[in-house]
Amino acid sequence: MKLRHAISAFALLWLSIIGTTVSANGWQPFPEGLPKPDLTGDKLQEQWPLITRATQDPFPTDPALQDAWRSHFQGDLAEAKSKGLALGTPEGKYVAYRAQTIYAMYMTPQPAGNIASSERAVLLKEAADELKKLVDGMDDGTVEPNVHIRFWFVYTTGRYIELMKPEWGILTKKAKMKEMLKYVKQIPPRTNIPAFHAFRGGVYAGINEEGTLAKLTFRSYIEDCDGHRASYEDGTLSQFRCAEIFLEDKPFPEFYNSYAKALLQIDRAKYQDWADEFRQYATGASSPKRVTNMIFSAEDSFARNAIKKH
């Protein structure tokens, strides 16, 4: 009897440990019903130009790194993070924390109450902090420079700042934005990363919407796609147009969603019709000329689904 009770107690303890582990670390699987690409075998390399069109990452030669990317673009984000970290390389960590950023943005609940302690904020902050270590390593010569890692760091940081702004005071917001914009300016103008230019244009438009004080504070950071000083409106439009040029006829849903939002932040009355058209493209209700599909990866599926919901 004592032995049976001891076994039962051990079983309960073991189940409790398993439950805690899953609750603390388990990520939700790819949602049923969303388009999920098949990137098995040679399909990853064949589809690479399309699935990486937003960031223009070079195709990796390491099969293990390819496998981490495969998991990421198929939407198996927990696997992508695990495989990326297991490589122990900057490129592996980039995949890992790119997966974590996407998971935080699209697979975690909308924060309520204390935003800083929400799952989304915790995951974004960890990803940003870990990527910052890589970027700072590039600057001190311990890591080979990689513009894609540098971009993803500022992108994740921007997402974290955007999430946390309601909880931060003016001085904190100012300091965080200045630090991020300092890293943004370290990426060369006209870098062939469409998502970077869309992100940069979105940041400019967001500052413009904040009002006069914000515009005066960050005025020196506003540049067009060629690195020349510009007004908030011209800088925003130039960055998005540059992204369009690099994308050619292969845009992605979040590009049009960000473009529409930025136009309204710059001048709602002036750009309302243009923004409405781009929102239609983002949700898939209509398509721009020469574009037949914008869903090629899990990132595309996640973004399209979120845009439709919100």
Report the predicted TM-score, pTM, of the whole model to 2 decimal places: 0.90
Q: Look at residues 184, 178, 185 and name the one whose alpha carbon lies nearest to residue 154.
A: 184
DSSP code per residue over 152-212: HHHHHHHHHHHHHTTTS-HHHHHHHHHHHHHHHTTSPTT-S-HHHHHHHHHHHHHHHHH-H
Rounded alpha-carbon distances, angstroms, from residue 212 to 151, 205, 215, 217, 231 = 28, 13, 5, 9, 13
Question: What is the structure's pLDDT at 25?
Answer: 54
Tokens 């130009």 found at: 49
How far apart CA 247 and CA 281 sit, in angstroms, is 15
For the beta carbon of residue 42, count every other beta carbon within 10 angstroms.
8
**What is the per-residue pLDDT for 22?**
33
Alpha helices per DSSP H over the chain:
2-25, 43-51, 63-73, 77-87, 90-107, 119-139, 147-164, 170-184, 194-210, 212-217, 232-247, 253-283, 298-309
Residue closest to 196 by CA, chosen among 205, 184, 207, 204: 184
Structure tokens at 149: 């890692």
- CB atoms near residue 183 (< 10 Å): 18
User: d(Cα 254, Cα 279) in Å, to the nearest integer?
Assistant: 10
CB 153 within 8 A of CB 131: yes
Q: What is the dihedral angle through the alpha carbons of 174, 176, 177, 181, rounded to the nearest 10 degrees?
A: 130
Residue 141 is predicted with a pLDDT of 85
Given a contact cutoff of 8 angstroms between Cβ atoms, the answer to whether 91 and 101 are in contact is: no
> Which amino acid is present at 24?
A
Residues 68 and 85: their CA atoms lie apart, in Å, by 9
Instruction: Give per-10-residue mean pLDDT for the chain (310 aa).
Output: 36 34 66 94 98 98 98 98 97 98 97 94 98 93 90 98 96 97 96 97 98 96 97 98 96 98 98 98 95 96 94
DSSP designation for 223 = B
Whole-angstrom distance, CA of residue 303 vs CA of residue 255: 10
Report how far residue 114's alpha carbon sits from residue 116's, in angstroms, rounded to the nearest whole number: 6
The C-alpha atoms of residue 246 and residue 53 are separated, in whole angstroms, by 9
281 burial level (CB within 10 Å; 0-12, 13-18, 19+)? buried
Distance CA 238, CA 262 (A): 12
